[in-house]
Chains A and B, each alone.
Chain A
Amino acid sequence: MSPLLGSRRAAIAFALVFCSGAGFAQDQSASQQVREVFARAAKAVVKIHGVDEHSEICGTGFFVDPTGTIYTAYTVGGEAGNFTVEFGDKKIPARQLVADIRSGTAILKVDETTPALPIGKSEELELATPVISIGYPLDLPKTPNFGMLAGFDRKCLGRYFSTIHLRVNVPTQRGEAGAPLLNMKGEVVGIVVSGLGNNSACYAVPIEAAEKIRSDFVRFGEARHGWIGVNDVSPASQQVDGSRAMVTQVADDGPASRAGLKAGDVLLQVGKKKIADPEDVFDASFYITAGDTVPITVMRGDKNLTFQVQAAMHPASKTGVLLASPGAIPGVIPMSLDEDAPPSP
C-alpha cells in the first residue's frame, strides 16, 4: 500500500466519523430543543373543567397574557359553563369572555397573575415544519406531542372552513382540544380544535384567527364578523391577473353594491389577502371586521379598480345588536354601521 493511498483512506474515515458525529449532534440538538420548548411552555398550559347540559367536560387551554386570559377551543369553552382551571396546584374559577363558533375558538379569563405563551405567526410556517403541542389527554397529566405541519386546508370532507386550518401530524387524544400548537421557538402558532381520522393527526386554528376574535372583543365586546355583500363567487373561465375568482352575484343595496362592485368583476385582493381562487375569499373575509372599511381590488375588463367597502355585520352573526353605537356605550371606539351611510368611493 502506498503512503498516498493510506492517507486518502484515513481522510475518508475521518470525514465519515466527523459527519456521523455532526448528525448525532444535530439529533441531540433537535431533541434538546423540544425538551426546552416543553419545559418553557408547559407552565402556561392549563386543564379546563366545565359543565355543559350533558355532563362535566375536560379540555385544554393556555394563557396568552399575564392577566389570565386563556385561549381554548370552542368545543371546550364555547357552550359549557361553570369553568374551573387547573393551574399549578390550584383549581381556580374561570369565566367566559367570548366564544366564536365561526373560528372554533373561545376565550376564558381567570383573575390571577399567570405565565403566558408568546404569540407567533402561523403564516411563517411551511410544510414539514416541526411543531409541538402540549395537552391533557384523558385524565392523564400534561403531555407533550411532537409532529410536523402537513397542510394548510381550506376544507375537509366537503366542508369549507371559515378560515384556513393547519393540518398537523401530531397525535392527539380526547381532552386535548384547546391545546397550543407551538413552533420550535416556543411561540403559539395554532390552537388544536379537532382530531383527524384515528387521531394520529389533528386540525389547529391559526393563532391569527384567535387574535382577530380577541381584537374584536377588546374593541367591541364581542366577535364582529364582517360582511361585504357578495353573494356568490365562481371560477372564471380564464385567469385574469393571476385570479380566477369572479363575482357572479352582488347583494342588492349591500356594502359591495353601494361601493360599486358588480357581477363579472374578478377579485384580486380583499383587505390584505391576495385572491387567486374562489376558495380564497373565505380566509380573506374571515379577517374583515364589521364596521371597518376594507379595500377590495378587482379587474373589470382591463381596468384594475380598488373600492373602499365598509363591512356590515355578517349574516351568520348571532346578534345584530350594535354595541358600538356612537355614544351608546362609553369607552368603545365610535363607528357607524348605518344603512344610510354614504357609499365609499
Chain B
Amino acid sequence: MDEFNDNEIARLLRLKRYEQPPPGYFDNFLHEFHRRQRDELLRQPLWRICLERSHNFMLQLDVRSLASYPTAVAAVLLCAAIFLLKVYQQPETARVATQSPLTLSVPVNAEQEWNLASPVSTQIFRTQPVRSFRESAQTHRAAPPRYVLDSVPVSYEPTFRF
C-alpha cells in the first residue's frame, strides 16, 4: 500500500473497467482452469498425491459411523477361524459308531469250536469285531490320554422290574 495511493488505484481500476478478454475466453475458461490445476497437481510426487487424496477422503467420511465396520470384519474373521478350528478338531464320530448288524458278534466257525461238553473258560473266541473303527483323527494324538476310573459304577437298575 506504500507504493500505490488511493488515487492511483482508482485510476487503474478506471482503465481496467473497459478491458475485455478476447472472444471465447469465458467459454474455454473452465477447461483451462482444470488443465492448469492438473498440471500443478502432477508436479508433486505420486506418494504425496495419494496421501493427500486419502487424507481428503477420510476427512469427507464420518469416522464415527464407520467405526463399526472394522469391528464387524474382525468378528467375522474370528468366527471363521473358530469354525475352521472346530471342523479340524471334530472326531469321526459317525464312523466310530458304525457297526455291521450282520456281523454283530456272531461267532465264526462256532459250530466247530463250541459244544456243550467244552467248558466255557477254554473256548476259543474267534468272532468278528463288534465295532469296526478307523484310525482316529490326528487331533487325538495331540490330546493327552484320559486315565479311566469313574466315580460311580455304570451299572444301574431304575425299577424293581425283572
| A residues neighboring B (CB under 8 Å) | 49, 51-59, 64-65, 67, 69, 73-76, 78, 81-82, 95-99, 101-104, 109, 119, 137-139, 156-157, 159-163, 165, 172-178, 192-196, 199, 202-203, 205, 211, 214-215, 217-218, 221-222, 227-228, 230-234, 270, 278, 281-282, 284-285, 288, 315, 319, 321, 323, 329-333
Contact = CB atoms under 8 A, between A and B. Distances in A.
A165 B156 CA distance: 11
A174 B149 contact: yes
Contacts of A211: 120
A58 B146 contact: yes
Contacts of A109: 125, 127
Contacts of B129: 95-97
A231 B146 CA distance: 39
B148 interface: yes
Contacts of A159: 152, 156
Contact of A102 (B124, B130, B155): B155
A281 B127 contact: no
Contacts, number: 195
Given A137-B147, A175-B149, A330-B110, A193 B91 contact: no
Q: Is the interface of B mostly helix, strand, loop or mixed?
A: loop
B53 interface: no
B160 interface: yes
Contacts of A288: 162
Contact of B146 (A56, A103, A196, A270): A56
B144 interface: yes
B117 to A, nearest CB: 13
A176 B149 CA distance: 6
Nearest to A211: B120
B159 interface: yes
Given A55-B140, A69-B125, A218-B123, A96 B152 contact: no
Interface residues of B, number: 51
Contacts of A78: 154
B160 A232 contact: yes
Contacts of A278: 160
A221 B156 contact: no
A119 B120 CA distance: 12
Contacts of A193: 150, 153-155
Contact of B101 (A69, A119, A174, A321): A321
Nearest to B127: A97
Contact of B149 (A74, A172, A205): A172
A119 B121 CA distance: 9
Interface stretch (B25-33, B75-83, B131-139): B131-139
Q: Which of A53, A98, A211, A330 has the most CB of B within 10 A?
A: A53
B143 interface: yes
B106 A56 contact: no
Contacts of B107: 218, 221, 331-332
